[in-house]
Amino acid sequence: LSRIEPFKRIDGLIIAFHQLIQKGYDLTLRIGGSCTEPRYQRYADEVALLVERLGLEGRVILDGYIADTPGWLRDIDIFVTNSSSEGLQVALLEAMATGCYCLAHAWDGVEEALPPDQIYISEGELIQKVEAYIGLDDKAQRQLQERMRSIAEEKFDIEDRARDVLQVVESVLIERTPVQ
C-alpha cells in the first residue's frame, strides 16, 4: 500500500514473491496504490511488465488507489513494506492496527514500530520470514496479529501522543515563565 515509486522497491518485492511461488507456495500479492508523479511512470510501467515477464498475472494484483484502507487491509494476511526509506509510515501503522502481520525492510526508524524479528535486510531474509509465518498454525498466527494490534495501540495511540506533546509544551512554558 503505497505510491509506486522506485524507493518503494516494489520490483524487489515482486521478485521475492516469485521465488516463494517457485518454492510451491500458493500465495497472492496485492499491491495497493498508483504512480502519482509523472517522473516515476516508467518505473510503474516496468513493475507491471515485470509481473507479466514472470508469469504472475492473477497472482500479483495491482489494486490501484485504495479509498477504503481498513477494508483493503482486512483482506491482507501479511503486510510488507519494502521501502529503502520512510518517515513514520502511516500505512504500516494502519496495517498493524488492523491486525496484519507486518514485515519491513530495515529503513532507518522502522525499529520504533516493529520488533527486530520482523525487520529484514535482504529479500532472502524476507522470504525466510514469510515462510516462517505461513508455516505457523492458525492460533500462532492470530497471536502474532494480536501482537501487531497491541504494539500499534500502545505506541501510537493519538490521544496518548497528544497528552505527551501537551506535557512537553507545558513544561517548556513553566520553565520560561518568570517567577515574580
What type of residue sits at position 149?
A: R
Cα(93)–Cα(78) distance, rounded to whole angstroms? Answer: 13
Q: Are 7 and 43 in contact (CB under 8 A)?
A: no
- Does 157 score more than 70 pLDDT? no
Dihedral of CA atoms 104, 12, 16, 120 in degrees, nearest 10, equals -30
Q: How many CA atoms lie within 13 A of 126 on its CB side?
A: 23
Q: Residues 74-115: pLDDT tens digits?
A: 999 999 999 998 877 889 999 999 999 999 999 999 999 999
Give CA angle at 30 (55, 133), nearest 5°: 100
Q: Residues 28-53: pLDDT tens digits?
A: 999 999 999 999 999 999 999 999 99
